[in-house]
Structure 1
Amino acid sequence: MEAKESKLIKKDIPHCKHFVVRKKRFCKMTVKTGKEYCGEHMPNSGNITGDESKKDLRVVCPLDRKHTCYAHNLSKHLKMCNARPKPSVPYIARGINCGEVIPETGERCKLNSQTLDSYTVEEIRGVIEKILKLHDDILKIDITEKILQHPLLENEVAKPELGDKSKKHLYQTSSLLGYLKEYDLFQPDTGFIEFGAGKGKLSFWMANALEGINNSVVLLIERASLRHKMDNKLDKSSGKVQRIRADIGDLVLQHVETLKRVKGIVGVTKHLCGDATGKKSVVCKC
């Protein structure tokens, strides 16, 4: 009964009337009493006459044009904006992993950034045929699918309230942890790095699986700023868990202090390139 009442209460709260074309729905943000739009989508008045209109005026953030802020609050926003310049750190070197340096100019050669639709069907088929021929002539092995499980996630996967999408990610995480266990990679004095960590769900379970293993650390690498991160539920006071906001192209791992106290490194990634990797996951040791 309480759940139904809470849903009714939530439904009665006024929401923003801005229609998000990309998502084909209205904005889900709530609005202030007497307003029709949230702060981000509030239309600016062309003729500002009163103090109230001035207070509602929003301007484009000069640090990141993808969002806006209140004009009267601009100076405060610039101090806390996620796009503000970050202090220099030794493990960030712009473009260090993005190509070789050209001696004449001192600049790094840019990697080929052409999209798939810029190639003809014949060119794509030609590449596929070359890959298949190399596999048949040199590798001569059958590629099989092997999905493992880790006992740590059994109770979580069994929860009846979880939907298919949530369980799909749990199955993938369980399989990755299963591979780490099968190849005996849960070892002391090892740093586990999750590239493209997102909200850190994989690292959360990986950190739990590492409990009791001496001098093991978990490092999360993610270039975006995200809310509701799972690693916030882990104890970071011991220095065993660290999140770094950085692009992999700019990251210098040997300068990360957390990794200097371990002897080996295991890299893990899941959906690193979004749709480009589909359901593929990778585990590597170095």
Structure 2
Amino acid sequence: MATSPRTTVEVQVPTEGRCGYFVERKKRFCRMVTAAGRRFCGEHAGAAGMGAEEENIRKRILCPLDPKHTVYEDQLEKHLKKCNSREKPKPDYFIQDINAGLKDETEILDELVPISSLSEEQLENLIKKLRKASNSMNCTLKEQIMSHPALHDVLNDPKNGDSAFKHLKQQASILGNIERLNLLGPRRCFVEFGAGKGKLSHWVDIALQEAEKVYFFLVERVTTRFKVDGKHKKKNSVFERLQIDIQHLCLSKIPVLIKEKLPVVGIGKHLCGVATDLALRCLVETYPAKCKEINEEPEAKRIKNDKTDADNDTLVNEGSKKNELDQRIPVAGIVIALCCHHRCDWRHYVGKEFFKTLGLGPQEFNYFQRMSSWATCGMRETTMETSEINIKKRDDQASDNEDEHEGFRKTDDNPEGLSRLLTVEERKNIGHLCKLLIDQGRIQYLQQKGYNASLQYYTDSFVSLENVLLTALPKQSSTPDSTT
């Protein structure tokens, strides 16, 4: 008769010179180094039931900025100046809500009910409004699926997994479209919005190779691990991360842009709903306005202070030439792969005027942005299981922030309840119309700001369900191919 092996119980003891407090959550002793002759570290002396007198140590209190850690009471003032939880000083390019858009108190909505709670009549009325608004739009987008030699080798690397290959295909096409619009060249400043690890800027840099004076500003509001921009050591290109929400970013306050006056190219891969609107306003509204303020003020002072008429005439002529240059849009172009329309927000949306001309307002917009997620509902039956597995596997170390846009999205539309009213294919078509309507508002906004803008498919739907690219060029520099 076989006997089961005995289980040995490992008895833990604190390491010499380390804290003797047993951390129950971690099932081990604290590993902090203690002062000479002390049993516990300063953090755990109180928790171990040892008074300050008994341990002969100073009293520790909870940090007022973050109660998850403690601090010596007599060093509180010094600690508050260097605590990691303290409010950091804002950079010069931070201006509160500069790209947020106007907040109209009359447009504040009551809490909207879920789409699944709408009556049949209410849902039908929404769909009728959507179809009526869509009748005036060109619902057929041109395909601009491209590639670029910079990614040729890596695209053919057999070590690539399916996910990596799909992202590389998209990056290659975006890079190809940047080149198609004549935006890929020296003396440029590329601003990547929602940069994540910075892979798109990485490939732009590889494509430019030895081009002179190329700057990259990678805008991301959260810290990102496994960044690739830190690996670039080329003398001709400069990478800088701006950890800031696009809502507060003022490009004209960035020293390099002030000094070098290089044309800006705004780029992005899978820029989530509201972030797209904030980026567009940042590029074509607040940045040109601030640049004009900076350029005009010194000129006025110079003309005012001159004494002779001859000098004044010379300066006025020079000033008029300079003003002509300043009137040129400082943004050379925009290339952004769109994403996540269900994360749009009416306050920040740049296409409000477009919606209003169609007789639509914030209430319709908020329902349409929710319904936009239906564009992928046709994939739910086939991707549900895979997506749930991917979500469980995803963590900070393994995922790129853009991965979250590629799979199943949980929304409030309750497909089971809607199936009696709409088929999967009908929901999918309605979702696409919602996306197109929202994007059309962005196109009209860019046109009003002096740009030729267009939408196109930049990759196949099997590579990414979010496969629409927004491109824009100033009208005076648009290529014949850019307006189609």
How high is the TM-score relative to the length of structure 2? 0.40
210, 213, 220: which one pairs with 2:218? 220
The amino acid across from 2:90 in the alignment is S
Q: Distance in 1 between matches of 2:51 and 2:471?
A: 60
Judge conservation of contact 1:191–1:262 (CA < 8 Å) in 2: no
The amino acid across from 1:133 in the alignment is K
Q: Distance in 1 between matches of 2:162 and 2:198?
A: 19
Report the CA distance between 1:149 and its aligned residue.
1.4
Judge conservation of contact 1:150–1:178 (CA < 8 Å) in 2: yes
Q: Distance in 2 between matches of 1:62 and 1:113?
A: 37
C-alpha distance 100-69 of structure 1, shift in aligned 2 (>3 A): same
Report the CA distance between 1:77 and its aligned residue.
9.6
**Are residue 273 (structure 1) and residue 280 (structure 2) matched?**
no
190, 193, 198: which one pairs with 2:191? 193
Unmatched segments (≥5 aa) in structure 1: 1-16, 19-30, 36-44, 52-58, 103-108
Q: Distance in 2 between matches of 1:265 and 1:178?
A: 18
Q: Say which structure is richer in helix.
A: 2
The amino acid across from 1:267 in the alignment is G
Q: Distance in 2 between matches of 1:229 and 1:92?
A: 23
C-alpha distance 101-84 of structure 1, shift in aligned 2 (>3 A): same
Report the CA distance between 1:158 and its aligned residue.
2.1
Identity %: 30
1:181 matched residue in structure 2: 179
Report the CA distance between 1:228 and its aligned residue.
1.9
State the aligned residue count.
Answer: 238
Give 1:20-169 correspondences, 5 Å limit. 48-49=49-50, 63=65, 68-69=68-69, 79=82, 81=84, 83-100=85-102, 118-121=113-116, 122=118, 126-127=125-126, 129-135=128-134, 137-169=135-167
Q: Distance in 2 between matches of 1:32 and 1:219?
A: 44
Higher mean Cα deviation, 182-191 or 199-208?
Answer: 182-191
The amino acid across from 2:82 in the alignment is K
Helix, strand or coil at the partner of 1:271 = strand
What do residues 34-58 of structure 1 show as CA deviations (whole Å, max 9, x unaligned)? 67xxxxxxxxx9654499xxxxxxx
C-alpha distance 227-60 of structure 1, shift in aligned 2 (>3 A): farther
**Are residue 244 (structure 1) and residue 242 (structure 2) matched?**
yes
The amino acid across from 1:224 in the alignment is V
1:205 matched residue in structure 2: 203
The amino acid across from 1:213 in the alignment is A
What do residues 220-276 of structure 1 show as CA deviations (whole Å, max 9, x unaligned)? 100001222111011377662221111011011122222232442221112222872
Q: Distance in 2 between matches of 1:264 and 1:143?
A: 28
C-alpha distance 62-50 of structure 1, shift in aligned 2 (>3 A): closer
C-alpha distance 150-76 of structure 1, shift in aligned 2 (>3 A): farther
Q: Distance in 1 between matches of 2:230 and 2:194?
A: 17
Q: Distance in 1 between matches of 2:103 and 2:147?
A: 44
Unmatched segments (≥5 aa) in structure 2: 1-23, 31-45, 53-60, 274-338, 342-404, 406-465, 475-484
C-alpha distance 205-158 of structure 1, shift in aligned 2 (>3 A): same
The amino acid across from 1:89 in the alignment is P
Helix, strand or coil at the partner of 1:179 = helix
Q: Distance in 2 between matches of 1:114 and 1:209?
A: 50
C-alpha distance 87-162 of structure 1, shift in aligned 2 (>3 A): same
Report the CA distance between 1:155 and its aligned residue.
1.3
Give 1:12-23 correspondences, 5 Å limit. none
C-alpha distance 238-214 of structure 1, shift in aligned 2 (>3 A): closer
C-alpha distance 93-151 of structure 1, shift in aligned 2 (>3 A): same
C-alpha distance 237-151 of structure 1, shift in aligned 2 (>3 A): closer
Judge conservation of contact 1:92–1:252 (CA < 8 Å) in 2: yes
RMSD (Å), alpha carbons: 4.3
Judge conservation of contact 1:196–1:221 (CA < 8 Å) in 2: yes
Higher mean Cα deviation, 68-77 or 139-148?
Answer: 68-77
Helix, strand or coil at the partner of 1:147 = coil
Judge conservation of contact 1:149–1:171 (CA < 8 Å) in 2: yes
Q: Distance in 2 between matches of 1:202 and 1:177?
A: 8
Higher mean Cα deviation, 216-225 or 156-165?
Answer: 156-165
Report the CA distance between 1:126 and its aligned residue.
4.7
C-alpha distance 251-157 of structure 1, shift in aligned 2 (>3 A): same
Q: Distance in 2 between matches of 1:276 and 1:240?
A: 30
Q: Relative contact order: is structure 1 or structure 2 higher (C-alpha 8 Å, sep ≥ 6)?
A: 2
C-alpha distance 255-86 of structure 1, shift in aligned 2 (>3 A): same
